[in-house]
Amino acid sequence: MGTRGALAVATVVLAGIVPGADVALGEQRTSTELTYTCAFPAGPHPVKVGIGARFPARTATGAAIRPTEVTTSVTLPDAAVAELTKLRAATTGATTKLTTEVAQNGATATALWQGAAPSVPLTPTGGVVLRATGEVPTVTANSPGALTLTAAGLTLDFHPVTTEGGATAPATLSVPCTLTPGGKGLLATVPVGPAVSPTAPTPGASATGPGADGSHRPAESAPTVLAPPARGAARAAAAPECRGDTTQPLALSAYATGYADVTKMGNASLIPVFCTQVVQGLNRIKRIEVRPGVFELHLLQSSTGRLDYRGRAQTPPGPATFLTFGFMPTTATMTLEQTGPMTIDSDLNNTAGHGETYIRIPLVLRISDVSVNGTPLDVGPNCRTSAPLYSPDPDPARNTKDHMVMLGVLKKGTDTVWRGYSLSRGGPLDGSVTIPAFTGCGVGEDLSPLFTASVSGPVNTVKQNQGAPCASGIPDDPAMLCTADKQPTTIPAPLR
């Protein structure tokens, strides 16, 4: 519930948190360490930059090469950090703009790789690491032959934030960087073979012409670079409006969806894609230690949220179909209504490689438009649970049986890749709830006992999937996770 980027994401996801997955067959994973000289206001500083990505191991002429899991890790020396703290900055996020040169058979093209790094604390010594992720352009080779991608110029746009959570002056510090002379910026080499169907025309393929030896071979042409889809291109028509707050620098808006099981009915109900508005809290440092070769960090963060459907604190109404008492087909419209504050508590222990986020929210289940075996059943406008759904709370002081608890877990693998859930990147959330007895059901006769008998009870599992949020409080949206009107571009799929 509830950008991977810029100043609004001063959250649990810090240096080293990058989405990851197992390497697919036929792919190559590359990692390059480079040194850039970056022109900060007070003078040039050397900055170490690590660039990682996955590419196909090989491809065919005319096939799009889509780099995935692209990360740009920027390590700032103490002198560069000092220039940011002079602005009264306590944390900073950044946008990275890396120019890559694409070459094949002497023909070249350029592609801009843009990413966004979440905010991290500015520690005075030991260096500060920002890791940026983002969509990058696809490249299509128009001829057979090895295609290379090489890093060139880099621009870092910092988005510092003060201890009080406000923007610094200036709000954005743009720093151009050049590759240190002698540095080899090769990112990847992808062998390109002939098209799979030589007799069929390949889109974008060049015409053929005689070679020096009289044979016919493709004429050399520059690889085709296609920019990522425009913001909002991935939005689904079924997603409700989710305009984020533009007046609050720490505001996020995100889509989520999932399934809720009803144990008594042996079935699950889809929770339609819904919108959550979040205001992030500032990080509280529980422990931090920097020494040679070691960076220990333990952070806590508390945020608040609210469901938002057409201005009401609820999910969109969604259809549900069950077999009542195991044999009677029943359809209904189900809505979850928020009845109190949503709290989001995140605990990240970078040293232990583990993070947990607990989302607590009071939700009443409302039922309408009921049909039993095809016959409408008038339940009236007030058929709902008599109290909020509730979960056992791991905190004894908060185990008040008046809210549900969802848990998202973040873990660092042996490959140093973080996987799982965090507020600023989304991911899976799990919970188990008790559905209380129903009340207010029926017109002329009390049907509440019917729904209590067939629906209410404990151990009903809930699984949700949150998409990456839009940092609506950031004017320039460096992570490109917002539409022009400040709605999230990432719409997640439900998980079972």
User: pLDDT of 265-295, one tens digit each?
Assistant: 777 788 999 999 999 988 888 877 676 766 6
**Residue 147 in contact with residue 56, Cβ under 8 Å?**
no
Half-sphere exposure of 73 (CA within 13 A, CB side): 18
Answer yes or no: is pLDDT of 129 > 70: yes
Tell me the fold of 27-192: Immunoglobulin-like (2.60.40)
pLDDT band at 197 (very low <50, low <70, confident <90, very high): very low
Q: What pLDDT, on the 0 to 100 scale, is given for residue 234?
A: 45
Q: What pLDDT, on the 0 to 100 scale, is given for residue 26?
A: 66
Q: Would residue 442 be called left, alpha or beta, if left means φ above 0 and alpha means ψ between -120 and 50 degrees?
A: left
What does the H/E/C string look like for the chain?
CCCCCECCCCCCCCCCCCCCCCCCCCEEEEEEEEEEEEEECCEEEEEEEEEEEEEECCEECCCEECCEEEEEEEEECHHHHHHHHCCCEEEEEEEEEEEEEEEECCEEEEEEEEEEEEEEECCCCCCEEEEEECCCCEEECCCCCCEEEEEEEEEEEEEEEECCCCECCCCCEEEEEEECCCCCCEEEEECEECCCCCCCCCCCCCCEEECCCCCEEECCCCCEEECCCCCCCCCCCCCCCCCCCCCCCCEEEEEEEEEEEEHHHCEEEEEEEEEEEEECCCCEEEEEEEECCEEEEEEEEEEEEEECECCECECCCEEEEEEECCCEEEEEEEEEEECCCEEEEEEEECCCCEEEEEEEECEEEEEEEEEECCEEECCCCCCEECCCCECCCCCHHHCCCCCEEEEEEEEECCCCCEEECECCCEEEEEEEEEECCEECCCCCCCCHHHHHHHCCEEEEEEEEEECCCECCCCCCCCCCCECCCCCECCCCCCCC
Q: What pLDDT, on the 0 to 100 scale, is given for residue 325?
A: 52
Count of other CB atoms within 10 angstroms of residue 440:
17
How far is Cα 337 from Cα 314, in angstroms, rounded to an integer? 4
Q: Pick the more confident residue, 169 or 307.
A: 307
Per DSSP, what are the bridge partners of residue 393? none
Q: What pLDDT, on the 0 to 100 scale, is given for residue 76?
A: 96
Q: What is the pLDDT of residues 439-478, one digit of tens each?
A: 999 998 999 998 898 889 999 999 999 988 999 988 766 5
pLDDT band at 324 (very low <50, low <70, confident <90, very high): low
pLDDT band at 218 (very low <50, low <70, confident <90, very high): very low
How far is Cα 277 from Cα 488, in angstroms, rounded to an integer? 11
Tokens of 474: 């950031």
Query: Residue range 402-424: average pLDDT?
Result: 88
pLDDT band at 216 (very low <50, low <70, confident <90, very high): very low
Buried b (16+ CB within 10 A) or exposed e, 24-60: eeeeeeeebebebebebeeeebebebebbbbbbeebb
Answer yes or no: is pLDDT of 184 > 90: no
Q: What pLDDT, on the 0 to 100 scale, is given for residue 340?
A: 96
Answer yes or no: is pLDDT of 229 > 70: no
**Best-predicted range by mean pLDDT among 158-162, 243-247, 433-437?**
433-437
How far is Cα 171 from Cα 478, in angstroms, rounded to an integer? 13
Q: Write out the residue limits of the CATH 2.60.40 domain(s) in the chain.
A: 27-192
Answer yes or no: is pLDDT of 214 > 60: no
How far is C-alpha 252 from the chain's CA centre? 12
Q: What pLDDT, on the 0 to 100 scale, is given for residue 494?
A: 83
**Residue 360 in contact with residue 384, Cβ under 8 Å?**
no
How far is Cα 16 from Cα 23, in angstroms, rounded to an integer? 18
pLDDT band at 375 (very low <50, low <70, confident <90, very high): confident
Q: What pLDDT, on the 0 to 100 scale, is given for residue 400?
A: 96
How far is Cα 99 from Cα 223, in angstroms, rounded to an integer? 15
Q: What pLDDT, on the 0 to 100 scale, is given for residue 36?
A: 96
Q: What pLDDT, on the 0 to 100 scale, is given for residue 224?
A: 76
Query: Residue range 318-345: average pLDDT?
Result: 81
How far is Cα 148 from Cα 433, in angstroms, rounded to an integer? 53
Instruction: Indicate the pTM of the whole model.
Output: 0.58
Query: Residue range 225-249: average pLDDT?
Result: 71
Answer yes or no: is pLDDT of 153 > 90: yes
Query: Residue range 41-59: average pLDDT?
Result: 93
**pLDDT cut 90: percent of the chain above it:** 45
Per DSSP, what are the bridge partners of residue 39? 44
How far is Cα 372 from Cα 322, in angstroms, rounded to an integer? 10
Query: Residue range 335-343: average pLDDT?
Result: 96
Q: What pLDDT, on the 0 to 100 scale, is given for residue 322?
A: 65
- Listed in sequence order, the residues at least 6 apart from 158 whose beta carbon sits closer than 8 Å to its beta carbon are 84, 92, 93, 94, 172, 173, 174, 175
How far is Cα 490 from Cα 495, in angstroms, rounded to an integer? 15
Query: Residue range 397-413: average pLDDT?
Result: 94
Q: Pick the more confident residue, 189 or 159.
A: 189
Tokens of 50: 């690590």
**pLDDT cut 70: percent of the chain above it:** 82
**Residue 411 in contact with residue 419, Cβ under 8 Å?**
yes
pLDDT band at 19 (very low <50, low <70, confident <90, very high): very low
Cα Rg of the chain, angstroms: 26
Query: Residue range 117-135: average pLDDT?
Result: 85
